[in-house]
Amino acid sequence: EEKKRRKKEKKKKKKEFIFSSRRRNTRYISVTGVQTCALPISIKKGANKALFNLANMYRETGRTEEAEKYNLQAIEKGDAEALNNLAVMYYELGRTEEAEKYNLQAIEKGDVKALFNLAVMYYELGRTEEAEKYYLQAIEKGDVKALFNLAVMYKETGDRKSTRLNSSHTDISRMPSSA
């Protein structure tokens, strides 16, 4: 009877699997050129990471519709990192309003990379005041790349506000060193 009970439990716990892909040492554009190894990932446990990985694989191979689909599914399951990835993809596709929307959502969830990415997007769109705001926020969170980009922005725009970089709220000595 114990064996029968275990067998029934095992059948109930049967997991669905999907296969994700990991890149190996090379970068190819076409799907057929991607070297992969099968990595079974449970849909029930860790589904958002599996969806996130699938979205990245599709984005890297130019299959943006599938990437969008899996990023949105990961977001529905609470993956904040997928918000930033979707924003980056939308920006690359020229869909700046959607990129802005998802960057702002990622920022609300505490994603520092989204602060940086939104600042870059604003700067490239000529919205330097908004870029400055998000660069400064990223700097406060310890993003050294944001500090560099802000200095470059000040130099390129001829803005002499660079004294702000020395203010107490952006104390460079508190920032971690970059790896």
Where does the pLDDT of residue 114 fall: very low under 50, low under 70, confident under 90, or very high at 90 and above? very high
Who wins on pLDDT, 118 or 175? 118
Q: What does pTM read for this prediction?
A: 0.65
**What does the pLDDT average to over 59-64?**
90
Burial of 108 (0-12, 13-18, 19+ CB in 10 A): exposed
Give the Cα separation of 137 and 99 in Å (integer). Answer: 18
- Structure token pair of residue 37: 């190894």
- Tell me how many degrees the CA angle 112-117-123 measures, rounded to the nearest 5: 130
Report the pLDDT value the prediction gives residue 23, as an integer from 0 to 100: 41
Question: 93-97: long-range contacts (C-beta < 8 A, 24 or more apart)?
Answer: 93/64, 96/121, 96/125
Torsion of CA 121, 125, 126, 127, to 10 degrees: -60
Residue 20 has pLDDT above 80, yes or no: no
Q: Of the candidates 133, 125, 142, 140, which has an alpha carbon nearest to the alpha carbon of residue 161?
A: 133
Q: Is 175:142 a contact under the CB 8 Å cutoff?
A: yes
- Which of 16-30, 87-101, 147-161 holds the top average pLDDT? 87-101
Lowest mean pLDDT among 14-28, 58-72, 144-158: 14-28
Count the neighbouring beta carbons within 10 Å of the beta carbon of residue 130: 16
Who wins on pLDDT, 101 or 19? 101
**What does the pLDDT average to over 126-152?**
95
Report the pLDDT value the prediction gives residue 11, as an integer from 0 to 100: 54
